[in-house]
Each structure stands twice: as structure tokens, then as C-alpha cells.
Amino acid sequence: MPSKGLSSPVVAIVGATGAVGVELLHCLEQRRFPLSELKLFASARSAGKSLEFRGVSLPVRELNESSFDGVGIALFCAGGSISKRFAPAAMRSGAIVVDNSSAFRMDAGVPLVIPEINADAIDTHAGIIANPNCSAIMSITPLWPIYCTNKIRRLIISTYQAASGAGAAAMEELRDSTRAYLEGRSFEPKVFPHPYAFNVFSHDTKIDPMTGYNEEETKVRNETRKIFGDLDLAVAATCVRVPVLRAHCAAVNFECARPIAAAEVREILSHAPGVRLVDDAERNYFPMPVDASGGDEILVGRIRQDLSDPSGRSIALFAAGDQLRKGAALNAVQIAERLLS
């Protein structure tokens, strides 16, 4: 596929008006992505709107099959059904698709990429590169440099997921329901199945009756194994929504092949790409969504021995990251950058 020679491509964003789409515009601008033109697409509802990019107001157009003429890289963030329907049209036009949805992630021929972990997989693409699930990106990016020095064999991830992970309408629902709660008004949820303000509930995806795990938890497990290239890695996740506007958190416990000390993990993570240590026990200052929001790095702290494993091979830590950035838009732009080289 034409991954080489893309020196200054025409870039399209499909789903430009959504939570991830808007963040893609920011990332492309902030990272000075060398594009020759940016085309913005969304549904018919948004046709006629405009979005600002590099000080210029760009029109948002309704997506159709011929939207991809001349496009070199198409960044999809409009949901799985739109990706399934329109990614083939983009590829037929010669565009390389970087897809934020889950539509193609587990397809054998589609690389699933976190550039800090498996950037080389990008070179194997056949027209589509998938961006992993946001909770997976947040939780496992910091683990890779540890895995490389002392293989992780078992991983338990508990997420605390923000409204932004479910898109712009979910963020609005958190704002509106919080206002209603504080003003003593009733509020009928539209996006989520449960009241969101001042509440915590299990992730709003379907539960597989065979396993008891919901779709988000299953994605975290399957995608982690694909990205690490390790189908023997034991992974279990519990994914939960918390009433935070933006930035997911994750409590992670992992067991290595050999004993490992918290100090060693801290040392490895102090120079891990895409990661920032926030681990100040004296001030009780650890990763928080307010510090992660709007940032590119995954904050990691509370690094300590997992005392439930007397063999000394297990560590517990806590991470926070803006999943609209590293969990979606930034990761996609990093992949696109690699397509230029």
C-alpha cells in the first residue's frame, strides 16, 4: 500500500464535529502536521457548520462515497458502522485509513497500534490501521517498557472512565444531569442507562452471557494481547463509568515472570515514552483527571508492591490520561506521522 511518499497529504477527518474529531483538529494543528489540505466530514446534521484550523474557518461537509477523492490519509472517528460503510470507499480512492472505532481492530490483517509499543506494525498495513480502545491505550502504554525487561504474565485492570469516552453527547449529559441534581430537578438520561451525576455504574456496553464481561472489558483484554503480541498474557478488566468530564483513570495490578521492586518500576517509568511519573507519597499527590485533561502524557503513580503476591513478582499502580488525546486523537495522529516517514 502507498504508505511511502506521503510527504504532504490531503487529510480527511470523518466525524470532525465529535469529541474525538475536534481533538484531532487540535492535535494536527499543535503538532504542525504537514498536510496540504484538511477536509472535514460529518453527518447531514453538521453540513454547513465550520471549524477553525490554523486560523482558517473550514467547512464541514456531509460524508458520502466520493468524499475521498485526492485524500491521502483519512482519520475516521464517526463510529463503527460509518467506518465499516465508508472505509472501503476511502481505500478505493487510495487513502490510508486510520480508524478510531472498534470495527477492524481484531481483524488479522489490520495492525492495531500504539506507536510507543508496536510502531513497526504500521508498515504491514493493507490500507487500514486501527487505533486501540481508549482504556487499553491508557492502561498498557506504561506497561510495555516493564514487559520488555521483565515479562508481564498476568494483568488486572480496573478503569474509572470519564464521560468524554462516550462522546460529546455524554459530556453534555454529565453537565446537564449535574445541574439538574444540584437544582433539585428530575433528569431523564438519554445517553446512559443510569443517572450519571454523583453516581458510578458498570460500563454501558453489553455483557457477554458466556463470560460475564462487558464489551469494553473484552476489548481491553483482547486488544492488549494483540498489541503485545502475547496471546498467553492473562488479562481481566473491570470497566466502570465515573462522573468525570474528561480523562480516564485505571488501577493496574500486574505480575511479572521474575521478582520486581517498586523502585525498579519507578525507574523504568521515569524515562518511558508518553508517560509522566506523578508519584509523590509525601504530598499524597498522584495521577488525577484534572491534571491529565488536555495533556498528551499518561500520568502514572501509586507504584507499590502488590502485597497479595508474596513472591515479589507483582506491582500495583494507578494511571490517569486524557483518552480524547492519547486514547484517541493523539494516537491516531502519531500513526499518521509515521505514515509520512
Ligand X SMILES: NC(=O)c1ccc[n+]([C@@H]2O[C@H](COP(=O)([O-])OP(=O)(O)OC[C@H]3O[C@@H](n4cnc5c(N)ncnc54)[C@H](OP(=O)(O)O)[C@@H]3O)[C@@H](O)[C@H]2O)c1
Whole-number Å distance between alpha carbons of 183 and 187: 11
Q: How far is the CB of 116 from ligand X (least distance, A)?
A: 16
**Contact (CB, 8 A) for 101 and 328:** no
216: left (phi over 0), alpha (psi -120 to 50) or beta: alpha
**String marking each residue 18-37 x if it binds ligand X according to CB under 6 A:** xxxx----------------
Binding segment for ligand X (CB under 6 A), chosen from 105-113, 161-169, 249-257, 265-273, is 161-169
Q: How far is the CB of 101 from ligand X (least distance, A)?
A: 3
Q: Which is nearer to ligand X, 101 or 305 (CB)?
A: 101
Whole-number Å distance between alpha carbons of 253 and 212: 20
Binding segment for ligand X (CB under 6 A), chosen from 4-12, 17-25, 121-129, 274-282, is 17-25
Binding segment for ligand X (CB under 6 A), chosen from 167-175, 184-192, 236-244, 297-305, is 167-175
In the annotation, is 256 catalytic? no
Give the full edge-to-edge strand order of the sheet including 128-130: 50-53, 56-62, 37-42, 10-14, 73-76, 96-99, 128-130
For helices 168-182 and 19-30, what crossing angle results, to 10°? Answer: 120
Q: How far is the CB of 43 from ligand X (least distance, A)?
A: 3
Q: Which of 38, 73, 101, 127 binds ligand X (CB under 6 A)?
A: 101
Q: How far is the CB of 322 from ligand X (least distance, A)?
A: 9
Q: Which is nearer to ligand X, 12 or 77 (CB)?
A: 77
Whole-number Å distance between alpha carbons of 161 and 323: 9
Annotated catalytic residue: which of 27, 134, 239, 256? 134
Q: How far is the CB of 257 from ligand X (least distance, A)?
A: 31
Give the CA count within 13 Å in the CB-facing half-sphere of 315: 27
Q: Which of 38, 42, 237, 250 binds ligand X (CB under 6 A)?
A: 42
Burial class (CB in 10 A: 0-12, 13-18, 19+), 256: buried
Give the full edge-to-edge strand order of the sheet including 298-305: 201-202, 234-241, 152-161, 248-256, 314-321, 298-305, 275-277
Q: Which is nearer to ligand X, 42 or 155 (CB)?
A: 42
Binding residue count for ligand X, defined by CB under 6 A: 30
Q: How far is the CB of 123 from ligand X (least distance, A)?
A: 23
Q: Which of 1, 3, 79, 118 binds ligand X (CB under 6 A)?
A: 79
In the annotation, is 27 catalytic? no
The verdict on 77 binding ligand X (CB under 6 A) reads: yes
The verdict on 100 binding ligand X (CB under 6 A) reads: yes
The grid cell for 70 is 485526492
The verdict on 15 binding ligand X (CB under 6 A) reads: yes
Whole-number Å distance between alpha carbons of 131 and 100: 5
- The 8-class DSSP code of residue 61 comes to E
Q: Which is nearer to ligand X, 112 or 265 (CB)?
A: 112
| Backbone torsions φ then ψ of 29, nearest 5 degrees | -70, -50
Q: Which is nearer to ligand X, 98 or 277 (CB)?
A: 98
Q: Which of 9, 115, 165, 274 binds ligand X (CB under 6 A)?
A: 165
Per the DSSP assignment, residues forming a β-bridge with 161 are: 241
**Contact (CB, 8 A) for 46 and 17:** yes
Question: How many CB atoms within 10 Å of residue 185?
Answer: 10
Whole-number Å distance between alpha carbons of 340 and 211: 41
Q: Which is nearer to ligand X, 173 or 306 (CB)?
A: 173
Which residues sit at the interface with ligand X, rule CB under 6 A? 15-21, 41-43, 45-46, 63, 77-80, 82, 100-101, 134, 164-165, 167-169, 323-324, 327-328
Q: Which residues are catalytic, by number?
A: 134, 248
